[in-house]
Structure 1
Amino acid sequence: MAETDGQDWVPGTYDALKDAGVSLAAYVPDGGFRNLIARCHDDSDMEAIALSNEAEGPCLLAGAWLGGVRGALIIQSNGVGNCGNNFGLTKMGRFPLLAIVSQRGSWGEANSWMMYSGQIAEPILELGGFHIMKVDHAADVADAVRAGATTAFNASQAVAVVLTQRVLGAKQFVG
């Protein structure tokens, strides 16, 4: 991983999810989120569900909400495009959706395949009606997740907390 600001954002972020009443984490496995996902799996009060495709997430979380469960979608920016149609369900049904998204294709990206998806993720989220909270520093992640959860669950909105590669570090590839 390329240099980050060196702070561990996971404990505070996990606590923010728990404090918001989140008990379901839907995710596509990702190295940048591995420690957060592991925390979700390790907590017997948190149901962590691996998705085969990001598009399953908005529907799963809408159904969970109808059943009285708060959830969060944890994905890479390259998976945002897979969710487009299902973001419509969230918008039309006024279901809350809290997404934590790692933004690829930015600071120090070494994989050219990630550039395109990283560049189009935010416009797709904006077109999907998301409130975007972009985070560049690890110290700000937990507060952004708290604020995003408040907006999502109390105002029935779609919120994306977008973590840049300055938080997560850029993955290095040898070409």
Structure 2
Amino acid sequence: MSRVWPDDIFDALKKADVKQVAYVPDAGHIELIASCTGDPDITAVSLTTEEEGIAMLAGAWLGGDRGALLMQSSGAGNCINMLSVPLHCRMPLLMIVTMRGEWGEFNPWQLPMGQNTERVFQDMGVYVQRANHADEVGQVVYAASQLAFSSNCVVAVLLSQRLLGFKDWSK
């Protein structure tokens, strides 16, 4: 099933002049990851854990490139300690987070972080934007990129689980 909003995110990243994308493989980001890895102007790097992406993108920024970190909400907890680097050094960080543990979740292990990602990020000092509808995703990501890169702050865009679709494992 092809979705339009991953293309809208890719267009927003290109418009924001993002040159590096760090990601932990995720089915919710599969189309966006494919677009990034297929673009010769973007260096896309697969990570083993989300906090590696924060370090990578700090280095990208110091080297003159803009970057974005793609991850799932379950990985947000892995980033808490490493978020101190961009927060205290006033480095921009744009995170695009596919949500789990929300609408239609089938996996109880996803509930704790999914229900608390926004609050945890806010408690850390991260600016949180949320996209709940496909037609707003591109604008939300572009606006978040402008906030991150013009204000040297950390911004997370949370992509609602409704965007990803309901997974019915009862059949």
Q: TM-score with structure 1 length normalisation? A: 0.93
Query: Residue 153 of structure 2: which of 151, 157, 160 is its match?
Result: 157
Q: Which residue of structure 2 aligns with residue 119 of structure 1?
A: 115
Mean Cα deviation higher: 16-25 or 127-136: 127-136
The superposition leaves residues 36-81 of structure 1 with CA deviations (integer Å, 9 ceiling, x where unpaired) of: 0000011011111001001111111111100001000000000000
Name the SS for the 2:107 alignment partner: coil
Name the SS for the 2:50 alignment partner: coil
Name the SS for the 1:85 alignment partner: coil
Query: Residue 16 of structure 1: which of 9, 12, 17 is its match?
Result: 12
Letter in 2 for 1:29: P
Name the SS for the 1:86 alignment partner: coil
1:108 shift after superposition = 0.7
Q: Which residue of structure 1 aligns with residue 100 of structure 2?
A: 104
Equivalent residues of 1:77, 1:101 under 8 A apart: yes
Letter in 2 for 1:157: C
* Structure 2, unaligned runs of 5 or more: none
Q: Which residue of structure 1 aligns with residue 127 of structure 2?
A: 131
Q: Which residue of structure 2 aligns with residue 91 of structure 1?
A: 87
Residues in 1 aligned to 2:150 and 2:18: alpha-carbon distance in whole angstroms: 13
Name the SS for the 1:171 alignment partner: coil
Name the SS for the 1:52 alignment partner: coil
Bigger relative contact order, structure 1 or 2, given CA contacts below 8 A and separation 6+? 1
Letter in 1 for 2:104: G
Q: Which residue of structure 1 aligns with residue 68 of structure 2?
A: 72
Residues in 2 aligned to 1:66 and 1:171: alpha-carbon distance in whole angstroms: 40
Q: TM-score with structure 2 length normalisation? A: 0.95
Mean Cα deviation higher: 69-78 or 121-130: 121-130
1:123 shift after superposition = 1.7
Residues in 2 aligned to 1:161 and 1:104: alpha-carbon distance in whole angstroms: 14
Query: Residue 49 of structure 2: which of 50, 53, 56 is its match?
Result: 53
Query: Residue 166 of structure 1: which of 159, 162, 169 is its match?
Result: 162
1:97 shift after superposition = 0.5
1:11 shift after superposition = 1.4
Equivalent residues of 1:7, 1:139 under 8 A apart: no
1:173 shift after superposition = 3.2
* Structure 1, unaligned runs of 5 or more: none
Q: Alpha carbons of 1:7 and 1:38: their partners in 2 closer, same or farther (altered >3 Å)?
A: closer
Q: CA RMSD in A?
A: 1.6
- List, as ranges, runs of 4+ consecutive aligned residues in structure 1 with deviation greater than 2 Å: 170-175
